[in-house]
Structure 1
């Protein structure tokens, strides 16, 4: 039997992962500049991988520009987050209902592939990790794409990118990974059964719980960073 051999982690990836996880845990002072030299010594790499990691973290909204140059931990705007969640809810519910309202059905092949993928994830559940946010986003984008409206899909991708700074906090425990997988499969079953009412009800509960957990963990992390100042 062939065994997959995982490639060794690059210095840039190691720096990104360690800095991301520490930011999510609230491990840096909130207002202090994230100095490359100090971070490089902490992570055990040179400054270049740290610089690449900070650029990536800035793109994800986890760090923001510091007034003295460089970066600092980001503070999400609660009003923006609320508006983004509202936009996401409207887009995804629209995608759930769109085929029914147009007298057609979701793409059956796309639904089947998506369900198979998430059944496999349930059989071999991945460990809790902030990077699971990308897997979660992929589910919601593919489900929307199965409705056949590419404009809606593009808008959802944009909202996901802007809200990721909060949503990334939702996947830091095994129970949340397990619950997410289960709820995704429940949504898929309802959509495949041409039952948008049930799909919407499950999705609304799914989104509300995800928002509650992510915001609570993000606020705790910000509070910890404030105490370090």
Structure 2
């Protein structure tokens, strides 16, 4: 975990300090520097971050509200263990919302398609040499692709709920883009989904979309289990 000098701490506004601590801890969780099940105290985080307990506590409670941490009032904090059954449920909600969004988009008259679809076409329906190779950036664009599909359907509550689900599964979903072939496949699959929507082939678009999400989910689960095992193996010598 990154350490911060007292000199830098003294120059930061309290709200900025809490935000930085939050961002650092969230990154530590996402990168498996803090593992599911790991326990720690506010004092340990305050010492590592060279900060007082107040901004640390603000950051920790924010992460708890978002579902990444659990608090035990007599024994400190714990990184929430992975609950794959919960992730399965979130993926199911995501699929329902996205399939309905595709249906609504395909039912729109040709002249009423939203600009968002044209933006997505320019991003994903490109030649192989124009494709990005940075897994992190493609991961960000992939999440945006799916969110924009739902937003384009025109129901703000559907879009809000979908954004919340996307945030909750991001911790594992982004791992799909640590594998080179998955980056290439994402471009190809997104292009086929968009092509079917633009041509009003609703059932085909829905099938392509559902298959795309299901395959990604299966890959992510395998990668997550492997990374957790590897991270725990690396942690064993330090614990010994």
TM-score over 0.5 (shorter chain): yes
RMSD (CA atoms)? 3.7
- C-alpha deviation, 1:193, in angstroms: 1.1
Give the structure 2 partner of residue 137 of structure 1: 143
1:30 to 1:90, Cα distance in 2 relative to 1, 3 A: closer
Give the structure 1 partner of residue 220 of structure 2: 214
Give the Cα separation in 1 of the matches to 2:200 and 2:30. 39
> Could you report, residue by residue, the CA deviation over 1:137-181 in whole angstroms, capped at 9, with x for unpaired residues?
211121122223333222212221232233232222333223222
**SS in structure 2 at match of 1:72:** strand
* Aligned pairs for 1:106-185 within 5 A: 107-119=113-125, 123-129=130-136, 132-185=138-191
Structure 1, 156-165 or 192-201: larger mean CA deviation: 156-165
In structure 1, runs of 5+ residues without a counterpart are 1-9
1:81 to 1:183, Cα distance in 2 relative to 1, 3 A: same
Counterpart of 1:84 (choices 71, 76, 90) is 90
**SS in structure 2 at match of 1:31:** coil
* Aligned pairs for 1:37-116 within 5 A: 46-47=50-51, 51=56, 61-65=67-71, 68=74, 71-100=77-106, 104=109, 107-116=113-122
Give the structure 2 partner of residue 4 of structure 1: none
The answer as to whether partners of 1:171 and 1:177 remain within 8 angstroms in 2 is yes
Give the Cα separation in 2 of the matches to 1:172 and 1:64. 28
The answer as to whether partners of 2:41 and 2:75 remain within 8 angstroms in 1 is no
The answer as to whether partners of 2:38 and 2:78 remain within 8 angstroms in 1 is yes
TM-score by length of 1: 0.71
In structure 2, runs of 5+ residues without a counterpart are 1-15
Corresponding pairs, count: 216
Give the Cα separation in 1 of the matches to 2:75 and 2:33. 20
Give the Cα separation in 2 of the matches to 1:59 and 1:135. 26
TM-score by length of 2: 0.68
Give the Cα separation in 2 of the matches to 1:110 and 1:103. 14
- Say whether residues 1:203 and 2:209 are aligned partners: yes
In terms of fraction of residues, the more helix-rich structure is 2
Give the Cα separation in 2 of the matches to 1:37 and 1:133. 34
